[in-house]
Structure 1
Amino acid sequence: MSSTETDPSEILCAPGGGPRTHMEVLTARDVPLGGPRAMTVRRTLPQRARTLIGAWCFADHYGPDDVSVTGGMDVAPHPHTGLQTVSWLFEGEIEHRDSLGTHALVRPGELNLMTGGLGISHSEVSTERTAVLHGVQLWVALPGEHRYTARDFHHHVPRPVPLDGGEARVFLGALAGEVSPVPVFSPLLGAEVTLEPGASTTLAVDPGFEHGLLVDLGDVEAAGTVLRPRQLGYLGPGNASLTLTNTTDATARAVLLGGTPFEEEIVMWWNFVARSHEEILQAREEWQRSADRFGSVEGYDGDRLPAPAAPITTLRPRSNPRRRG
């Protein structure tokens, strides 16, 4: 997915300090995706309160969206650098095309992961079969030694793993005895967790990870805090287990993200993850002149997405708040 802001801010993300054991609640902001009939996505990362959870640097949550009203998703070919995109749906279907020549469908419970590295481009369009579109789009920042890695694409269908009072689908990393085969470049966790009405489950997690819990359905209590739908809870490193409780009388669903604190500064602007203002300007200029760096997307009916106006202000340092015990 593309960041469609016409004047995206530059973000410098830096590591924080020691462990944190209480839950920090992050509230999303609404961002229109496309033109006047655009569907709206809820962006919980990045924001002023927090810019990274492990290497997870971007989280959009959208739907349930009636595509007969909004027109659904139609994101023209656009570029990415220095990251992996993670597409995960609850409802609907999205057609993905990229400059590797990949033509794939994103369906509920199926992971599509695209590695941008030095540069890639892709389009995302909801299919005619889609009545309701509902899911998340996530980005993972690549560490410095891998940020120019080759373009790549992986599709994976994780099996449901039984939990006490629910189940998990582990699309990245390891949880509840299940390990995803999809390659990543830093220690990560990504899983959909569903809980039956009133159910509680305790998950063994890596104490070296910080975690984020994005609630989609129901109210979920974690680390003594009740998270409502559309909220993202953050929990710092130092926890060997995480207990999730569905406090409602209906099924609850959340996406659990995790990873070791990302110990590098990164600059995010539009669809680029880089290390400096100058790298951002170079990537933008190469996209605008159709450089080979990003390749081309075949099969999309329309023009590619132009980059926003180049940033004119100098980069302002910005970091996560320091973690407290």
Structure 2
Amino acid sequence: MSNVEVEPEELRCGASSDGRPSGALEVEVLTAREVPLGGVRALHVRRTLPQRARTLIGAWCFADHYGPVDVPSGGGMDVPPHPHTGLQTASWLFSGVIEHRDSLGTVGLVRPGELNLMTGGHGIAHSEVSTPETEVLHGVQLWIALPEAHRGTGRAFEHYKPEPVRIDGAELRVFLGSLAGAASPVQTFTPLLGAQIDLEPHARIALGADPAFEHGLLVDAGAISLAGTRVEAAEMGYLPCGADELTLANETGAPARALLLGGPPFEEAIVMWWNFIARSHDEIVRAREEWEAASDRFGAVEGYPGRRLPAPALPNAVITPRANPVRRSRAAE
């Protein structure tokens, strides 16, 4: 998905000064801001990452949560061809179908419970359009920052349908990394975890965790307690490094659903603007110029019935540092 804000925020993101949060393992609840994607009949998304309170969770640097949207009345998704650099995009749906086209020549469908992972290190372009048959569109679009050693990697695309794993009162679909004995074969360039977790009413589970990982729980439906802290629908609970077990509890009498994201703190400073991830303002300027010039860097998306997306104007500002805040224990305070 493209960030089609007219004036996208320019961010410099990175780890805290010591590379990871410090102190007690307290859950931080992050709220989303609503962002319209497009014109009058825009698809509105709830953007949880990045935000001032937290810019990355592991290498996860962008999370748009949308729907359920009634497509016949709401317009669905129609994102024209647009560029990306320095990242992987992970598309995950709960309902509806989206047609994906990219400059690799890929034409594929994003369906519920199936991962589409696109890699665009040096440069890639793609479009996303909900299919005519889609009546309700509901899902999440995620971006993964590529580390320095791999941020110039070539274009790639992978599709993966994880098998559901049942544990007491819950069903897991692990689309990246490993959890509860399930593992995804999909390639990433830093250690990552990505999984959909469905909890039955009043279910409680404990999942083994890598203490080197920080985690984010994006709740889609219901209310879920993460390590004793209640996280409502459309909120994300953030848990810093150090936990070797994650406890999740559905605190409602209805089914609950969430995405669990994780990874070791991403210690490189990155610059995000529009659909580009880079390391400096100058790199962003060059990427924008090359997209506007239709250079070979991004290639062409064939078969989209319309024009590609123009880049917005750059702000009259130089990027200023922005890092995840250093968390302190209550005892230290």
Shorter-chain TM-score above 0.5: yes
What is the correspondence of 1:89-100 to structure 2 with a 5 Å cutoff?
A: 89-100=93-104
What is the match of residue 58 of structure 1? 62
What is the match of residue 211 of structure 1? 215
Shift of 1:126: 0.1
Distance in 2 between residues matched to 1:268 and 1:12, nearest whole Å: 6
1:290 to 273, 294, 298: 294
Distance in 2 between residues matched to 1:184 and 1:324, nearest whole Å: 31
Shift of 1:324: 2.9
Pair 1:82 & 2:72 matched: no
Percent identity (aligned): 66
3-state secondary structure, aligned to 1:293: coil
3-state secondary structure, aligned to 2:90: strand
Amino acid at match of 1:180: S
2:162 to 158, 171, 174: 158
Pair 1:261 & 2:265 matched: yes
Stretch deviating more after TM superposition (141-150 or 13-22): 13-22
RMSD value over aligned CA atoms? 0.7
Distance in 2 between residues matched to 1:93 and 1:99, nearest whole Å: 20
What is the match of residue 44 of structure 2? 40
Distance in 2 between residues matched to 1:154 and 1:323, nearest whole Å: 36
Which blocks of at least 5 consecutive residues in structure 1 are unaligned? none
Distance in 1 between residues matched to 2:236 and 2:310, nearest whole Å: 31
2:142 to 125, 138, 142: 138
Stretch deviating more after TM superposition (129-138 or 9-18): 9-18
What's the CA shift string for 1:194-232, capped at 9, x where partnerless? Answer: 000000000001100000000001110011210000001
What is the match of residue 321 of structure 2? 317
Which blocks of at least 5 consecutive residues in structure 2 are unaligned? none
Distance in 2 between residues matched to 1:14 and 1:247, nearest whole Å: 34
Amino acid at match of 2:3: S
What is the match of residue 6 of structure 1? 6
What is the match of residue 15 of structure 2? 15
3-state secondary structure, aligned to 1:322: coil
Distance in 1 between residues matched to 2:179 and 2:39, nearest whole Å: 39
Distance in 1 between residues matched to 2:44 and 2:314, nearest whole Å: 25
Distance in 2 between residues matched to 1:5 and 1:21, nearest whole Å: 35
Amino acid at match of 2:11: I
Shift of 1:311: 2.4
Distance in 2 between residues matched to 1:204 and 1:252, nearest whole Å: 20
1:112 to 111, 116, 128: 116
3-state secondary structure, aligned to 1:208: coil
What is the match of residue 234 of structure 1? 238
Stretch deviating more after TM superposition (212-221 or 20-29): 20-29
Shift of 1:35: 1.0
Distance in 1 between residues matched to 2:328 and 2:274, nearest whole Å: 31
What's the CA shift string for 1:134-164, capped at 9, x where partnerless? Answer: 0000000000000000100000000001122
TM-score if structure 2 supplies the norm length?
Answer: 0.97
Distance in 2 between residues matched to 1:103 and 1:74, nearest whole Å: 15
What is the match of residue 248 of structure 2? 244
Moved over 3 A (4+): 17-20
User: What is the total number of aligned residue pairs between the two structures?
Assistant: 325
What is the correspondence of 1:272-311 to structure 2 with a 5 Å cutoff?
A: 272-311=276-315
Amino acid at match of 2:33: R
Distance in 1 between residues matched to 2:210 and 2:306, nearest whole Å: 45
3-state secondary structure, aligned to 1:294: coil
Distance in 1 between residues matched to 2:230 and 2:131, nearest whole Å: 36
3-state secondary structure, aligned to 2:297: helix
Shift of 1:70: 1.5
Amino acid at match of 2:107: H
TM-score if structure 1 supplies the norm length?
Answer: 0.99
Amino acid at match of 1:55: A
What is the match of residue 175 of structure 2? 171
What is the match of residue 185 of structure 1? 189
Amino acid at match of 2:8: P
Amino acid at match of 1:165: G
